């Protein structure tokens, strides 16, 4: 039985073109700056985001932590979204590794309330630690994939910059956001000081992340990456896949189209879906209207070769990606119909 795995876009496997590029990649010792394929990917990343410099790291988590280590000092405070990955899903590295205190601000629709943000830009005083970084995420919330607009990013950057606080964008899925809004990544990140990107999600690379920003910050991040154990040698084997991915990232539009089709049809069947929140490749499903818990729903689907991720008592996530063809969506829908009717 062929398994259709919609739990995440991290399950995507490198394409044939990537594997060929990896096989043929010219490599060298990247820690010594001798790997031409890594250098090429980093140059592409800098250009993509309109930044001076770029660094390839092993993972989104490593990029996030290297960025915070490079942009803050121990004992500082930083602002994060309460639903963000950097705050919830990185083993408290902000506390354990960076030694900063996170001020988590609630969010409902992916936006910071600017008034609340400003209250959290704290100045150093006898009893207070200064806020020295504002973190954003785009797309925001790994269970929804909400697009954060350039307008909102720019107003957050303006508020932070007026207090001389830089902005870091965790852009694990930022190319999904850029494609969904039909805007160039460099334009979207124009005012964001530093930005990251995951190569190993919808972009289908096996490993890797990029971190782009001012040369001074990226030089520091390179040392922090080394400290985190992320100095790698013939990493061109990995970078080669990234080059293929960046050359063809417009295909993410197909994943968004599949997600919209999937969501609309699931809604027709009676499942709870907020179509306004289906903005990229992620579909959040409420199973309560059909009388099944998330675990029951996922178990029944699994028996039919479809994998989805339970994310709450009645909440399930499905993510569309390169290894789920448009025609596979029909198979998913057929199985869901059987599960609901059973």
Residue whose CB is less far from ligand PLP, 200 or 335? 200
Interface with ligand PLP, residue 129, by CB under 6 A? no
Q: Which stretch binds ligand PLP (CB under 6 A): 12-20, 23-31, 168-176, 212-220?
A: 168-176
CB of 142 to ligand PLP, least distance (A): 5
CB of 211 to ligand PLP, least distance (A): 12
Among 12, 37, 61, 192, binds ligand PLP (CB under 6 A): 61
Crossing angle between the packed helical segments 60-71 and 215-227, to the nearest 10 degrees: 120
Interface with ligand PLP, residue 198, by CB under 6 A? yes
CB of 7 to ligand PLP, least distance (A): 13
CB of 9 to ligand PLP, least distance (A): 9
CB of 230 to ligand PLP, least distance (A): 11
The closest alpha carbon to 81, from 37, 27, 144, 11, belongs to 144
What is the rounded radius of gyration, in angstroms, for the C-alpha atoms of the chain? Answer: 20
Interface with ligand PLP, residue 60, by CB under 6 A? yes
The torsion angles phi and psi of 157, rounded to 5 degrees, stand at -60, -40
Interface with ligand PLP, residue 85, by CB under 6 A? yes
Residue with tokens 């694990």: 172
Residue whose CB is less far from ligand PLP, 61 or 287? 61
The closest alpha carbon to 174, from 50, 69, 82, belongs to 50
Residue environment code for 217-226, b if the CB has 16+ CB neighbours within 10 A, otherwise e:
bbebbbebbe
Residue 273 contacts residue 266 (beta carbons within 8 Å):
yes
The CB density around residue 159, as the number of other CB atoms within 10 Å, is 18
CB of 89 to ligand PLP, least distance (A): 7
Q: Which stretch binds ligand PLP (CB under 6 A): 25-33, 57-65, 264-272, 276-284?
A: 57-65
The torsion angles phi and psi of 49, rounded to 5 degrees, stand at -100, 5
CB of 336 to ligand PLP, least distance (A): 25
Residues numbered 242-281 forming contacts with ligand PLP, rule: CB under 6 A: none
Q: How far is CA 333 from CA 53, 92, 175, 256, in A?
A: 44, 38, 27, 16
CB of 176 to ligand PLP, least distance (A): 10
Q: Which stretch binds ligand PLP (CB under 6 A): 125-133, 150-158, 165-173, 293-301?
A: 165-173
Interface with ligand PLP, residue 71, by CB under 6 A? no
The closest alpha carbon to 98, from 133, 57, 122, belongs to 133
Residue whose CB is less far from ligand PLP, 37 or 281? 281
Distance CA 173, CA 280 (A): 9
Interface with ligand PLP, residue 230, by CB under 6 A? no
The closest alpha carbon to 167, from 175, 179, 180, 158, belongs to 158
Residue with tokens 């040369």: 215
Interface with ligand PLP, residue 172, by CB under 6 A? yes
Number of chain positions touching ligand PLP (CB under 6 A): 13
Distance CA 192, CA 187 (A): 10
The CB density around residue 17, as the number of other CB atoms within 10 Å, is 14
Interface with ligand PLP, residue 137, by CB under 6 A? yes
Distance between start and end Cα atoms, the chain: 21
CB of 61 to ligand PLP, least distance (A): 3
**Contact footprint for ligand PLP (CB under 6 A):** 59-61, 64, 85, 137, 142, 170, 172-173, 198, 200, 209
């Amino acid at each position: 039985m062929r398994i259709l795995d919609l739990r995440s876009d991290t399950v995507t496997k490198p394409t044939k073109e990537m594997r060929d590029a990896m096989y043929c990649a010219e490599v060298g010792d990247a820690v010594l700056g001798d790997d031409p394929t890594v250098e090429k990917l980093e140059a592409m990343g800098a250009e993509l985001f309109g930044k001076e410099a770029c660094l390839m790291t092993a993972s989104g988590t490593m990029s996030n932590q290297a960025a915070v280590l490079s942009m803050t000092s121990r004992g500082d405070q930083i602002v994060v979204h309460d639903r963000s990955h950097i705050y919830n899903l990185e083993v408290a590295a902000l506390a354990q590794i960076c030694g900063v205190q996170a001020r988590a601000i609630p969010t409902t629709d992916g936006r910071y309330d600017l008034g609340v943000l400003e209250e959290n830009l704290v100045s150093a005083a006898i009893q207070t630690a200064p806020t020295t970084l504002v973190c954003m995420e785009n797309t925001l919330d790994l269970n929804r994939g909400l697009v954060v607009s350039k307008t909102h990013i720019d107003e957050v950057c303006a508020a932070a910059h007026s207090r001389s606080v830089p902005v870091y964008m965790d852009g694990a899925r930022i190319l999904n956001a850029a494609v969904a809004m039909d805007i160039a990544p460099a334009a979207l990140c124009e005012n964001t000081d530093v930005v990251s990107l995951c190569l190993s999600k919808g972009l289908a690379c096996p490993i890797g992340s990029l971190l782009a920003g001012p040369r001074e910050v990226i030089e520091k991040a390179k040392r922090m990456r080394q400290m985190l154990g992320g100095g790698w040698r013939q990493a061109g084997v990995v970078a080669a896949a990234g080059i293929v991915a960046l050359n063809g990232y417009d295909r993410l539009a197909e994943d968004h189209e599949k997600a919209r089709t999937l969501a609309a049809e699931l809604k027709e069947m009676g499942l709870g879906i907020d179509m306004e929140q289906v903005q990229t490749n992620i579909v959040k499903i409420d199973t309560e209207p059909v009388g099944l818990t998330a675990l029951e729903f996922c178990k029944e689907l699994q028996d039919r070769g479809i994998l989805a991720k339970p994310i709450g008592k009645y909440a399930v996530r499905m993510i569309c990606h390169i290894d789920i063809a448009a025609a596979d969506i029909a198979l998913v829908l057929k199985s869901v119909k059987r599960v609901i009717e059973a």
